[in-house]
């Protein structure tokens, strides 16, 4: 199932690979928002079916 995460800055990521979704959001958070330590659970809590 495709899942989509949208960031408050307008960036979004959609994939059916949960590991890629988590890794992509973690990378975005770190690079763009200087947020370290975003957890898998936090990412999945933001994810919506797409």
- 31 or 49: whose CB is closer to Zn ion? 31
* CA-wise closest residue to 15 among 28, 29, 27, 3: 3
* Count of residues of this chain found to bind Zn ion when the rule CB under 5 A is applied: 4
Question: Least distance (Å) from Zn ion to the CB of residue 45?
Answer: 16
For residues 12-31, which are near Zn ion according to CB under 5 A? none
Q: Does 7 bind Zn ion (CB under 5 A)?
A: yes
Q: Does 9 bind Zn ion (CB under 5 A)?
A: yes
């Amino acid at each position: 199932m495709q899942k989509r995460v949208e960031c408050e800055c307008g960036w979004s990521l959609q994939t059916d690979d949960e590991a890629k979704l988590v890794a992509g959001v973690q990378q975005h958070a770190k690079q763009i928002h200087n947020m370290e330590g975003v957890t898998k659970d936090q990412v999945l809590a933001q994810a919506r079916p797409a």
